[in-house]
Amino acid sequence: MLRQRFVLDTTALTDLQARGAMGIDSLCEGMKSMLELIASARLKLGISCYVPFPSVYNELHEFAKNNACEADVIAKIDTWLVKKAPDRYNVMINSRIFHEYVSYMRERINKGMVVAEEAIWEGSTKCLFLSTKAENAQQIEHEIEKGVIGPIIGKFRNKYRSALRYGILDSAPDIDVLILAKELDAAVVASDFGIQKWAEELGVRFVPAHTFPMILQEYLAHAGNVNHQIKDIFQENP
């Protein structure tokens, strides 16, 4: 069997859907179960799971500590995940990719600006409407702040994040995951759509985080069946 290599984004161990597929609610228990699967796959099948160092490695440590995970979760991170710094100087990436990325980012920024303009316009219109019904300036200020500006700002923030961040690489760990996967000819495991999109652009294999536990379980189940078949063959033909 060809030994598989995977490069894990932080979401490979923290994805909510992955925990749901395993019937686990707790983040810490989900990380622990994933790491135990990874340990079995490494010992029995030689499957290696890498994390970029120090970016993703530090993120995983922070997730574990911030969620009050027990020390054995951190120990499993250090034991079963291969820490490697991506070779940012020698991994060659086609310049067309960066040209498209810059164009894509400009498009997203423009969309964010449109959303901001719509929010400002809506707020101004409602403020003018309410001001005609107010009895005094203090009432205007209170009504605008509590009834208009607050909800509009909340709506604006959600739309702005969606328009600007969805589908893009917005952190150094995201880029490290892709570079390391390209360097190792490995598959990327993540639940981030931005990583998925640019993995496709770079010709890197992509595995959704929520299917990763089932993939490892499938490998392990079939490896057990193969071992039993080989044992039966030798017993039949001593």
202: nearest Cα among 52, 97, 88, 86:
97
Encode pLDDT of 119-160 as tens digits.
877 776 667 666 655 555 455 555 566 666 667 777 887 787
Residues written for the chain: 238
Encode pLDDT of 73-85 as tens digits.
999 999 999 999 9
Helix (H) or strand (E) holding 81: none
For position 71, what pLDDT does the model report? 96
Compute CA distances 40 → 95, 139, 213, 227, whole Å: 40, 65, 12, 15
Q: Does the pLDDT at position 234 exceed 50? A: no
Check residues 231 and 204 and name the one with the higher pLDDT. Answer: 204
Structure confidence at residue 14 as a pLDDT band (50, 70, 90): very high
Tokens representing 115 are: 């959303």
Residue 16's CB: how many other CB atoms inside 10 A? Answer: 14
Q: Does the pLDDT at position 232 exceed 80? A: no
For position 230, what pLDDT does the model report? 39
**Residue boundaries of the structural domains of the chain:** 5-85+172-236, 95-165
Residue with tokens 């498209």: 100
Compute CA distances 100 → 157, 162, 169, whole Å: 26, 20, 13
Cα separation, 181 vs 206, in Å, equals 10
Cα separation, 201 vs 197, in Å, equals 7
Encode pLDDT of 161-215 as tens digits.
777 766 777 778 989 999 999 999 999 999 988 899 899 989 999 999 999 999 9
For position 130, what pLDDT does the model report? 64
For position 107, what pLDDT does the model report? 83
Compute CA distances 168 → 13, 19, 55, 139, 172, whole Å: 21, 25, 18, 43, 12
For position 68, what pLDDT does the model report? 94
Residue 177 near residue 52 (C-beta atoms within 8 A):
yes
Tokens representing 63 are: 């997730």
Cα separation, 185 vs 119, in Å, equals 45
Encode pLDDT of 39-94 as tens digits.
999 999 999 999 999 999 999 999 999 999 999 999 999 999 999 999 989 998 88
For position 83, what pLDDT does the model report? 97
Assigned CATH for 5-85+172-236: 3.40.50.1010
Strands annotated E in the chain: 5-8, 48-52, 82-84, 187-190, 206-208
Residue 207 near residue 188 (C-beta atoms within 8 A):
yes
Helix (H) or strand (E) holding 132: none
Encode pLDDT of 104-116 as tens digits.
887 888 888 888 8
For position 82, what pLDDT does the model report? 97
For position 116, what pLDDT does the model report? 85
Phi, psi of 148 (to 5 degrees): -120, -60
Is residue 86 classed as helix, strand or coil in its secondary structure? coil
